[in-house]
Amino acid sequence: MTVWTSSQGVRRLEFGPLPRERHTNLPEAWPARLGAAVEQLREYFAKERTSFDLPLDLSGVTSDFQREVYNQLLKVEHGHVMSYGQIAREIGKPDQARAVGQAVGANPIPIIVPCHRVIASDGRLTGFSGGLKRKVVLLKLEGIDVDGSSPNSKVHPEVIPLDL
């Protein structure tokens, strides 16, 4: 993973190695925000952390709607999932589930803004910018069972809110 920070906070998280044209200093020389983000991610993957306490830089986010979706994602607790429709209803736009899906797919800070916790309304696995196999790993890390890593795989969370 590559973690990008600014003076405001975590700006981007990308899967894969640091691009060749970019260079980084040794960890001792990292800015404090970068060091904190890397440490909290390490704790998350070691199952020592269930939430993040990091400032976020969403200045590159282009719409207020996306910001609303990301703020709602931050409320989805570790080990729980929500559907796109549930998120749309929570932000007061019940007919915008597809738009929620587009915003979730454009999330610049996956894991920290937990878009991996979003599934289809029928409990099936749905897309993830890092790929479905990574999404399954993240869900299982949080104690959520998934039948496989294909789009039709069923997700079996301990708790799933019902669409009523």
- CA 118 to CA 86: how far, in whole Å? 9
Is position 115 annotated as part of the catalytic site?
yes
**Positive or negative torsion for Cα 102, 80, 51, 64:** positive
Task: Please answer whether residues 80 and 117 qualify as being in contact, where contact means their C-beta atoms are separated by less than 8 angstroms.
Answer: yes
3-state secondary structure of 145: strand
Among 115, 136, 139, 155, the active-site one is: 115
- Which positions are annotated as active-site residues? 115
